[in-house]
Amino acid sequence: MTSGPNSRAVASDVDVLPFDVVPRRGGVRAGRVAETAKAGKAAKARKGAKVAASALPVARVAVDVALAHLDRPFDYLVPETLAAQAVSGTRVRVRFAGQLVDGFVIERVESSEHAGRLAFLERVVSPEVVLTPLVLAAARAVADRWAGTLADVLRLAVPPRHARVEGTPSRPLDPEGPARHARSSGLSTPWRRYRAGERLVASLRGGGRPRAVWAALPGGGWAAEIAGLAAAAVGGGRGVLILVPDGGAAATVGAEVESVLGDGAHVVLTADLGPAERYRRFLAVSRGEVRVVVGTRAAAFAPVAGLGLVVVWDDGSDLHAEPRAPYPHAREISLLRGQIHDAAVVVGGHAVTAEGARLVATGWAKAVVPERATIRAVAPRVVSGEDAAARAADRGARLPTIAWQAAHDALMRKSPVLVQVPRGGYLPALSCDRCRTPLRCAFCSGPLTAGGGDAGGAPSCSWCGRLAAGWRCPECGGARYRAVLVGARRTAEELGRAFPGVAVRTSAGEDVVARVPAGPTLVIATPGAEPVVDGGYGAALLLDGWAMLSRADLRVGEETLRRWLNAASLVRPASDGGVVVVLADPGLRPVQALIRWDPLGHAERELADRVALGFPPAAVFAELTGEPEAVSEMLATLESPEAATVLGPVAVSPPHRANPAREGATARALIRAPRAAASELAASLARAQGVRSARKLTPVRVRIDPIDIG
């Protein structure tokens, strides 16, 4: 069995395909199915059999089967009774390998290129068009870019159906309403603070397709600036897609968009809406009722009509990385959609990633950054207190004098103080007091933690929950342990004693606080969970910088600076007494970038280092993870690019166990290739996955450019 150039066929396809379902293919016998159908239509009608549609009788269907060797469209006949409903983009049910499965109609054509018999569509699930041609093209591009399957991507792109929601009638449309509102808003003023900012807004208003990497100023104005971009694009008659890391940011941007475009001009799409509400809002977009979408990565494929602008905020956040196959990143999806839709793309944040710096370095995008004088006027004063922190730790104190004084001064001015700690919990990391060996569970080798304030309580394992009563260090025999890292709850407890009478709030884990009132309050928060306060914080204390910078991760410096900048941006300007104390070595590059407030400069130096070392984004990395034998087999058969280098495989621990021997070994291999060979590497990995899938071999997980490559 063969197939056309757009499919991935292997020799063993014939063993798994049913006789009545065939892939789209090229051949000299095109049209034979249509001729046969026409010749026998009268006879079938007399016998009561299904009759193919008289016009465009063949539907090409993307079947919801995520097997790599079947990643291509399949041809089916359209019954005359379904001809009006089975249009491109609708959901259908088809018989595949003897079972009824879901699928999407990709297109209707006059004839099939298959010489044999075709099966009929079983039914049209819904006449609602939920998959547009441009979104389909983007999904196909994402599948190819990350060596995945179209079925996996479509599960991310189109939410599950809810019949009751589809029955809700569309609301009356006023397509010019938001545009009129936008044209009268005149929101270019905030962008005057940036170099090329007004040119960016003017280009969007005029229907241009600018591409920018934006380093946002500190303060709470970033959401209003994004709303200004949306207003400019809508005023130019185009749709807008805005992607943010989490639901809190989506709500903030949504409120600003509503203030400039009016009620009903946008929807917020997030995964935690619930199935029915998410589908209701998705339909509002697909039906063209709204042309502005604000959402998390769940909205990356939203079918915005006339898409003319894609904005990605805080693209360095790991929340933009999809944890499900094929593991795409929202930033890269946005870049692909910008190219496919011929739309403007703005990648922004308080920090700039190495990927963003590469877009500027290659000329693909222009940098939109503030003037130095503007930064000095709105940024807080940043000081480093690493030496003081070390001396305080030796005395058993949580805060050095410089940090305590900054907090005290802010509280005396009736201002809230933000304290950022790397981890939640109480004492999330412990080590031997004598030799500093980390505490590990004797049963599963998981990390031991102290979960509460009872000093006499035994530590417990954070994996299996067993108590480690009578623990002794396996290296030195010591029985005393100390905290390597102090969590948010323990920090709140200690600072509450240091500042008696001051309210203490904690925002971490499942208990995230969105906003706190102005006034003298200590707010203890983990990165990404910092609440917003009206008027800004009087001071911010960035604790345990050494812990954030000591992680074994390729992006550790970039990620640490991003977390610091996001927290520091919530602090009042230095002219209003705002101060940020960072407890880290002042000679380190991220600390210097924070002190100077120079995210683009840091990203450019980070990119230069990665180019020299051959790390992403200068090169493309593919990670293969699975059973050692399976990984080795795949590497042996992989037709990788000539310039590719294989690193490994090596044994690794499963994410929930420190001892892989307890559950079977896991191996990981990395393949590095020049960025120019990214498409070739992805295609070779897809072919290898297809071979393994067809032969029913042990699966191997493939991730391209994973964010946690370290």
* Dihedral sign (CA 460, 464, 469, 470): negative
Nearest to 242 by CA among 191, 314, 178, 174: 314
Confidence at residue 179, expressed as pLDDT on a 0 to 100 scale: 57
Average pLDDT, the chain: 85
Architecture of domain 619-704: 2-Layer Sandwich (3.30)
Report the alpha-carbon distance of residue 699 to residue 691 in Å, rounded.
Answer: 11
Q: Which structure tokens are listed for 504?
A: 């203490």
- CA of 504: how far to CAs of 49, 73, 428, 537, in Å? 74, 58, 20, 14
Question: Per-residue pLDDT for 392 more than 70?
Answer: no
Question: Per-residue pLDDT for 283 more than 80?
Answer: yes
pLDDT in tens, 222-252: 999 999 999 999 998 999 999 999 999 999 9
Question: Per-residue pLDDT for 429 more than 70?
Answer: no
CA atoms within 13 A on the CB side of 388: 16
Report the alpha-carbon distance of residue 227 to residue 242 in Å, rounded.
Answer: 9
How is the chain split among helix, strand and coil, in percent rounded to 5? 35, 20, 40
Confidence at residue 326, expressed as pLDDT on a 0 to 100 scale: 97
CA atoms within 13 A on the CB side of 315: 30
pLDDT in tens, 85-96: 999 999 999 999
What are the domain boundaries of the chain?
A: 13-127, 177-375, 381-609, 619-704
pLDDT interval class at 193 (50, 70, 90): very high
Nearest to 556 by CA among 615, 612, 511: 615
Q: Which structure tokens are listed for 103?
A: 């699928």
Summarize the confidence of residues 523-539 as an average pLDDT.
93
Architecture of domain 177-375: 3-Layer(aba) Sandwich (3.40)
How do beta strands 701-704 and 579-582 pair?
unpaired
pLDDT in tens, 576-625: 999 999 998 888 999 999 999 999 999 999 999 999 999 999 999 999 99
Report the alpha-carbon distance of residue 92 to residue 104 in Å, rounded.
Answer: 6
Q: What counts of helices (H) and strands (E) characterise the chain?
A: 22, 29
Report the alpha-carbon distance of residue 315 to residue 605 in Å, rounded.
Answer: 18
| DSSP 8-state code for residue 511 | B
Query: What 3-state DSSP class applies to 502?
Result: coil
Confidence at residue 4, expressed as pLDDT on a 0 to 100 scale: 39
Nearest to 590 by CA among 373, 384, 422, 367: 384
Q: Which structure tokens are listed for 63?
A: 């079947």
Q: Give kind and range of the element (H or E) at residue 405.
A: helix 401-412
